[in-house]
Amino acid sequence: MKKNIEKNFSFAKEYYLEYGINAEDVINKLKNIPVSIHCWQGDDCGGFERADSILSGGGILSTGNYPGKARSLKELRSDLEKAFSLIPGKKRLGIHAMYGDFASDNIDRNKIEKEHFNKWIDWAQNLNIGLDFHPTLFSHDLSKDGFTLSSRNKEIRKFWIEHVKRSREISNYIGESLKSPCVMNLWIPDGTKDSTVNRLYFRETLITSLDDIFSIKFPEKNLIDTIESKLFGIGSESYVVGSYDFYLSYALKNNLYLTLDTGHFHPTELVSDKISALLPFIKGLMLHLSRGVRWDSDHVAIMNDELVAIMQEIVRADAFNKTLISSDFFDGSINRIGAWVIGERAILKSLLFALLEPIKILRKYEQEGKLFARLGLLEELKSMPFGNVWDYYCKIMNVPIGDEWIEHVFKYEEDFLSKRN
């Protein structure tokens, strides 16, 4: 019952204490773990470069046309603020280059400047959040043939290399301005729909482009570089130049962070299993949390087994100093703010569930060979009063408890979203 939040938490606190877990300490830790929330859920990954900004393949597609999509940066920021008010904890915001404040300027992506993102910096300072950055190498005339940094065309490669270089300069500027490292994540749509006999050529070309881009060094206190793979995309179902093996090798060789997107792997692959395999070797990991459904990625994150397992792996390895958490989903078929809130709260719930795990007892069972007890306790954890701790956390963070947030979204839709054409 919502009116008994403190009483329920007191019960849960005593329950977890029997297993050596201090729920208040866990809450204090959760408060300070930042999650980077992606901006593109608010407008279906369209951006505001031009009035006619549209999606154009490259593995990027947001389905649905639910009323109320943000039509301007002002509306997008308003929607983000509403979503933030319903999500507890420390936040960052990930923005794509195509979300710059270009006003009436017809700026192409190889000409973007720092000043196009000053309003984002001011906005972030007012909200006391960090910003992360993503170059935008899709939805453009020079990416419509499926190749950017690995293109055979030297001029096309030059255009995109310049775009990413400027994106890194902007990211460094953002990090310096906010006094918090800006994570710049590089993903490209390059690949082919059907079979290619030139796999090595495109990958060697991509290496040359990346070497040029990363030859410029910036202080890590301002900028963290990470690169992201994908198994397939729209128009690159048969061959993706920037595959997992490619980017893993490049990241290890060049001491970069590697991004693992939970929707970018084969449906039978588990990102949770990759974390402990990579941590001893990689500089750091960025997690893009979404939900793959069959062969489609970027569905709204929910608290499923894999999301919980990912958080358990981070907690069990105490890898917060090498692991960055962010979301990356976009669904235009439902209320977009509701999608944000569902996904981000699911990420935080999964993280809280992992933090409440009595790892010392589980490790003791494992070390003593009492494997039935290890499995038995893992099963019992599923019915422990985790929800009482979550409700209390939401209460002290001044966000809605339980399903109360749904009414807030309905009200915002009635007052604002329904009035957008």
Active-site residue (options: 69, 82, 163, 288):
288
Confidence at residue 83, expressed as pLDDT on a 0 to 100 scale = 98
155-165 pLDDT, tens digit each:
999 999 999 99
pLDDT digit string, tens, across residues 101-132: 997 778 899 999 999 999 999 999 999 999 99
43 is catalytic: no
Average model confidence (pLDDT) across the chain: 95
Model confidence band, residue 350 (pLDDT cutoffs 50, 70, 90)? very high
- Annotation marks residue 145 as catalytic: no
- Of 116, 134, 163, 230, the catalytic one is 230
> Which residue is catalytic, options 49, 298, 306, 391?
298
Predicted confidence at residue 2, as pLDDT, reads 65
| 17, amino acid identity | L
pTM for the model: 0.96
What per-residue confidence (pLDDT) applies to 298? 84
Angle of CA points 266, 63, 290, to nearest 5°: 40
- Residue 288 is among the residues annotated as catalytic for this protein: yes
- Which of 90, 108, 296, 322 is catalytic? The answer is 296
384-397: string of b/e by CB count within 10 Å (b at 16+)? bbbebbbbbbbbee
- Alpha-carbon dihedral angle through residues 56, 58, 59, 64, given to the nearest 10 degrees: 0
Per the residue annotation, which of 264, 274, 299, 349 is the catalytic one?
Answer: 264
Is residue 230 among the annotated active site residues?
Answer: yes
Residues 408 and 320: their CA atoms lie apart, in Å, by 32
Number of residues that this document lists for the chain: 421
- Per-residue pLDDT of 127-148, as tens digits, reads 999 999 999 999 999 998 999 9
SS (H, E, C) 328-394: CCCCCCCCHHHHHHHHHHHHHHHHHHHHCCCHHHHHHHHHCCCHHHHHHHHHHHCCCCHHHHHHHHH
User: Is 296 tagged catalytic?
Assistant: yes
Q: Tell me if residue 403 is catalytic.
A: no
The catalytically annotated residue of 225, 328, 331, 413 is: 328
- Among candidate residues 49, 261, 331, 413, the one labeled active-site is 261
- Is residue 187 part of the annotated active site? The answer reads yes
Residues 6+ apart with CB under 8 A from 192: 146, 235, 236, 238, 239
Residue owning tokens 């010392």: 360
Percent of the chain with pLDDT over 90: 89
Pairing of strands 191-192, 239-240: antiparallel
In 3D space, the residue among 341, 233, 207 whose CA is nearest the CA of residue 292 turns out to be 233
For tokens 């944000």, the residue is: 340
Question: What pLDDT, on a 0 to 100 scale, did the predictor assign at position 52?
Answer: 52
Domain boundaries, the chain: 33-357
Catalytic residue, chosen from 120, 160, 187, 405, is 187
Give the integer Cα–Cα distance in Å for 186 and 229. 9
Distance CA 127, CA 84 (A): 10
Architecture of domain 33-357: Alpha-Beta Barrel (3.20)
Q: Which residue has the higher pLDDT, 166 or 298?
A: 166
96 assigned to active site: no
The verdict on whether 408 is a catalytic residue reads no
Looking at residue 162, its pLDDT comes to 98
Q: Which two structure tokens, joined as six digits, stand for 9?
A: 């938490």
pLDDT score of 220 more than 80? yes
The percent of residues in the chain predicted with pLDDT above 70, rounded, is 97
With cut-offs at 50, 70 and 90, classify the pLDDT of residue 58. low
CA separation for the pair 281, 274 (Å, rounded): 12
Q: What is the mean pLDDT of residues 243-252?
A: 98
Q: Kindly state the average pLDDT of the residues 355-372.
A: 98
Selected catalytic residue, list 44, 132, 225, 228: 228
Per-residue confidence (pLDDT) for residue 51, from 0 to 100: 54
